[in-house]
Amino acid sequence: MKKLFALVMAAVMTMSLAACGAKEEAPSAPAASAPAASAPAEGTAFRLGGTGPLTGGAAIYGNAVKYGAEIAVEEINAMGGIQFELKMEDDTHDAEKAVNAYNALKDWGMQISLSSVTSKPAEATSAENYADRIFGLTPSASSTATVEGKDNVFQMCFMDPNQGSASAQYMADKALATKVAVIWKNDDVYSKGIHDTFVAKAAELNIEVVSDTTFADGNDTDFSVQLSDAQTNGAELVFLPMYYTPASLIFAQAAGMGYAPKWFGVDGMDGILSLEGFDTSLAEGVILLTPFNADSEDAATKSFVEKYQAKTGEIPNQFAADAYDCVYAYKQALEAAGATPDMTAEELCELMIAQFTTMTFNGLTGEGMTWAADGTVTKSPKGMVIENGAYVGLD
């Protein structure tokens, strides 16, 4: 009897839930169809949407992109001319949630998209972008699969394989080392992508990879084994294709062991100096290839860093700068194409494809950026070295 009663209650709850759902749908439905079908009354701004991990373990990257893009949108809207309406939805660094978030954005009336912040979710949402013909420009999802086979998804960041081979090339050109160790994250697309091309390129350039070890989620606190493997095999340089959170642990533990090789990072390493409480002397001499330098003297960067600090109290990393650039790249492309906010996502998509494959863009993360038809960006990474707790350009 009780069970049945519970059942009836459950059914009532479902109904009320369905009713709630229906109520919610009502106002959003016209909004969803309006920008796509005909000119909306309020359609004075381009609706720009993106998904990223705003909560959970990868939240720092999603929030950086969110704030970076918000700053750009505020600046552009204040200038008059092209107006943006920005919405970032949380995907908790998960492909399933990212598709949900993407669909929520579609209901909101997203016309152009920032795709997703992290690689695996971006692979899932970019497939949706392609199917729906909504143009996507991801600030930071760097895997090959994000853009592969999709003519309307573009990247603002370097592609992983490019980073891997560029790093090997850089080491060879500067004769940094002949024996190299790699420590990479075994369950991460980003890390894996860079690792694979790095190892292949290193073999070509006669750089010997003497130690190749991994770590994974839940196994990312103790690096003593990886480090001593590198040490006993005589690696002069340790390549760290990873984000800076585990890297900071690696530096601390290596210092504890008294192991001091040359360190070489990729763009995910950027941000390590702004870690609160981090002993920057540990990162002394770390070399990294990154397109963005928050300490740059250039006026645009300075103003961006100031605004970002005012907004969040933190120093922007490369993710924030890439997102900022994305919004400005959209502005440039939309202006050049003469696009208006009453256009459908599909119309905008065709215009954007035409623009992005032909235009040249100058931003915080590089001068003279161009895009190939496959969606990858061409910009030159800057070699940076950390000296006295600050990034210093190498070239």
Site for other proteins in 203-232 (CB under 8 A): 213-219, 221-222, 224-226, 228-229, 232
Q: What is the separation of C-alpha 181 from the centre of its chain, rounded to a whole number of angstroms?
A: 26
Contact between 15 and other proteins by CB under 8 A: the answer reads no
Contact between 260 and other proteins by CB under 8 A: the answer reads no
What is the distance between the alpha carbons of residues 276 and 279, in angstroms, rounded to a whole number? 9
Q: How far is the CB of 103 from other proteins (least distance, A)?
A: 4
DSSP assignment of 65-90: HHHHHHHHHHHHHHHSSS-EEEEEEE
Q: How far is the CB of 144 from other proteins (least distance, A)?
A: 9
Q: How far is the CB of 70 from other proteins (least distance, A)?
A: 13
Number of residues located near other proteins, criterion CB under 8 A = 89
**Using the rule CB under 8 A, which residue among 175, 276, 299, 310 binds other proteins?**
276
> How many other CB atoms are there within 10 angstroms of residue 24's CB atom?
11
Contact between 19 and other proteins by CB under 8 A: the answer reads no
- Of the listed pieces 16-24, 283-291, 321-329, 349-357, which binds other proteins according to CB under 8 A? 16-24
Name which of 29 and 300 has its Cβ closer to other proteins: 29
β partners of residue 136 = 113, 153
Name which of residues 170 to 199 contact other proteins (CB under 8 A).
Answer: 185-189, 191-193
What is the distance between the alpha carbons of residues 217 and 32, in angstroms, rounded to a whole number? 38
Nearest to 373 by CA among 162, 160, 151: 151
Name which of 245 and 296 has its Cβ closer to other proteins: 245
Name which of 32 and 45 has its Cβ closer to other proteins: 32
What is the distance between the alpha carbons of residues 2 and 8, in angstroms, rounded to a whole number? 10
Contact between 37 and other proteins by CB under 8 A: the answer reads no
Q: What angle do CA 112, 118, 124 make, to 5 degrees?
A: 65
What is the distance between the alpha carbons of residues 342 and 118, in angstroms, rounded to a whole number? 30
Tell me if residue 260 falls in helix, strand or coil: coil
Q: Which amino acid is at 56?
A: G
**Using the rule CB under 8 A, which residue among 7, 79, 372, 373 binds other proteins?**
7
What is the distance between the alpha carbons of residues 87 and 35, in angstroms, rounded to a whole number? 15
Q: How far is the CB of 231 from other proteins (least distance, A)?
A: 9
Contact between 233 and other proteins by CB under 8 A: the answer reads no
Name which of residues 310 to 369 contact other proteins (CB under 8 A).
Answer: 312, 314
Handedness of CA 195, 200, 204, 210 (dihedral sign): positive
Name which of residues 54 to 113 contact other proteins (CB under 8 A).
Answer: 54-57, 59-60, 63, 89-90, 92, 94-97, 99-104, 106-107
The tokens describing 115, both together, are 């795709």
Nearest to 331 by CA among 84, 115, 117: 84
Q: How far is the CB of 42 from other proteins (least distance, A)?
A: 19
Contact between 44 and other proteins by CB under 8 A: the answer reads no
**Using the rule CB under 8 A, which residue among 19, 37, 200, 257 binds other proteins?**
257
**Using the rule CB under 8 A, which residue among 45, 133, 233, 278 binds other proteins?**
278
The tokens describing 305, both together, are 């860093």
Q: How far is the CB of 360 from other proteins (least distance, A)?
A: 31
Tell me if residue 119 falls in helix, strand or coil: helix
Contact between 157 and other proteins by CB under 8 A: the answer reads no
